[in-house]
Amino acid sequence: MTDTKDAAPTHSPLLPTYARYPVTMDRGEGCWLIATDGRRYLDFGTGIAVTALGHAHPHLVEKLTEQVAKLWHTSNLYHIPGQERLAQRLVDSSFAYQAFFCNSGMEAMEGSIKLARRYHAVTGNPQKYRIITVEGAFHGRSLATLAAANNPKYLKGFGPKVDGFDNVPFANMNALRAAISDETAAILLEPVQGEGGIRAASLDYLRQIRTACDEFGLLMVLDEVQSGMGRTGKLWAHEWAGIEPDIVGSAKGLGGGFPVGAVLAGEKAAQGFEPGVHGTTFGGNPLAMAAANAVLDVILEPGFLAAVEQKGALLTQGLEKLIARHPGIYEAVRGAGLLLGLKCVVPNGEVATALLHAGLLVVPAAENVIRILPPLIVSEAEIAIALDILDKVAAGWPKAEGGKA
């Protein structure tokens, strides 16, 4: 009998849901990822806006290691002090009155949708269950969050779309108001669309949505899974508009790389939940809470968010110079803080691949944009290295017929 243990597998044992770059990361140090072949990559993708404090941040390592040795999981049958602490800190630093913890962005948004619907059910308006959403959104891959975002590419083949979502054009207040009916429960959007290509809702648009919600008794639900936790230079992106939403979904940066999500509810919306109506086995377990509390320790340090804003401005200026130098490659920069999108002239996927080969990680998004999402602890020197790689890749781009790079 032949021993086939070491034979190369003929096919992957993984279901083929991802198209992956041919790179395997071995370890991380701050803003850098080191591959199994020893190559170093400057990580300006942060695992899609997740590793907000970079890799192996000493404070996170310390707090998680401490918790690993103590207690991992108990379920929500018992009190979890880390949850109470994290919730209190989130409440103290935001519009929120109460929080619910889960494990991912999709769960945070699914929970937010359920809370919005149930708020109306328990306050005497069970007919109000529909939610207005905007084109270009991304809220996750559950059946309801897919229906909310209404992206045909992701809905195809998954059967009847979950009912209850009215998708309207982005940044069009007339269309949004026209979609409001007696059945409308809430308006849901990302303050800055991530997957949609770093498309920021204007502050005025956000304020007008708040006004419309107040006028018609609707809840304003924000998906801050990607834009929250300091990425734009404020803890929550909606703070730039000076408004208070009713519900916010958070995840990604919240755990700094540990899977954790949260539904934050204002006092009014919080009425929607009571014991037994929503839950998750893993949500808010002691390990996840140790990670998120450690992330907050750093992000809430005085001056941290101001530094994010300042580094975002520096990076934006640098990108604007690159656009002027390479108008045949890069077209526009958008976003806020360290949640930036560089719209490309040439195909964004090819740019992302070329950058990877040159040692810089970014993440493609819709509208031919590459997302530039460095760790919030990035240094000015690392920003300069990234700009240099973006410059070199553009300068070496094969020239199109009659075009110029």
Count of chain residues binding ligand PLP (CB under 6 A)? 15
State which of positions 96-115 bind ligand PLP (CB under 6 A).
104-106, 109
Q: Please identify which residue in 194, 253, 255, 266 interacts with ligand PLP, judged by CB under 6 A.
A: 194
CB 377 within 8 A of CB 299: no
Closest to ligand PLP by CB, 262 or 319: 262
Q: How many CA atoms lie within 13 A of 291 on its CB side?
A: 26
Q: Please identify which residue in 55, 139, 311, 371 interacts with ligand PLP, judged by CB under 6 A.
A: 139
Q: How is residue 231 annotated by DSSP?
A: T
Q: Which residues are registered as beta bridge partners of 102?
A: 261
Q: Does 376 bind ligand PLP (CB under 6 A)?
A: no
From the list 24-32, 138-146, 158-166, 340-348, the region that binds ligand PLP by CB under 6 A is: 138-146
From the list 9-17, 136-144, 288-296, 391-399, the region that binds ligand PLP by CB under 6 A is: 136-144
State which of positions 45-84 bind ligand PLP (CB under 6 A).
48
Q: Which are the contacts of 23, defined by CB distance < 8 A and separation ≥ 6?
A: 35, 39, 41, 356
Closest to ligand PLP by CB, 30 or 194: 194
C-alpha dihedral over 110, 112, 117, 122, to 10 degrees?
A: 130
Q: Does 166 bind ligand PLP (CB under 6 A)?
A: no
Q: Which backbone phi and psi does 122 adopt, to 5 degrees?
A: -85, -15
From the list 69-77, 137-145, 324-332, 393-401, the region that binds ligand PLP by CB under 6 A is: 137-145
Nearest approach, Cβ of 145 to ligand PLP (angstroms)?
Answer: 7
Q: Does 197 bind ligand PLP (CB under 6 A)?
A: no
**Which residue's Cβ has the minimum distance to ligand PLP?**
105
Contact string (CB under 6 A) for ligand PLP, positions 19-48, x = contact: -----------------------------x
Q: Which are the contacts of 238, defined by CB distance < 8 A and separation ≥ 6?
A: 191, 206, 222, 224, 244, 245, 248
- Please state, in angstroms and as integers, the Cα–Cα distance from residue 54 to each residue in 20, 27, 42, 46, 318, following that order: 21, 11, 10, 7, 21
Q: Please identify which residue in 43, 110, 166, 195 interacts with ligand PLP, judged by CB under 6 A.
A: 195
Q: Does 285 bind ligand PLP (CB under 6 A)?
A: no
Q: Does 138 bind ligand PLP (CB under 6 A)?
A: yes
- Exposed/middle/buried for 124, CB within 10 Å: 0-12, 13-18, 19+? exposed
Q: Please identify which residue in 67, 226, 250, 316 interacts with ligand PLP, judged by CB under 6 A.
A: 226
State which of positions 297-316 bind ligand PLP (CB under 6 A).
none
C-alpha dihedral over 208, 213, 215, 216, to 10 degrees?
A: 140
Question: Buried b vs exposed e over 41-68: b needs ≥16 C-beta within 10 Å?
Answer: bbbbbbbbbbbbbbbebeebeebbeebe
Closest to ligand PLP by CB, 111 or 272: 111
In the chain, % helix, strand, coil (3-state, to 5) comes to 40, 20, 45
Q: Does 140 bind ligand PLP (CB under 6 A)?
A: yes
Q: Which backbone phi and psi does 85 adopt, to 5 degrees?
A: -65, -50
From the list 5-13, 222-230, 275-283, 383-391, the region that binds ligand PLP by CB under 6 A is: 222-230
Furthest-apart CA pair in the chain: how many Å?
76
Q: How is residue 219 annotated by DSSP?
A: E
Nearest approach, Cβ of 193 to ligand PLP (angstroms)?
Answer: 7
Positions in the binding site for ligand PLP (CB under 6 A): 48, 104-106, 109, 138-140, 190, 194-195, 223, 225-226, 251
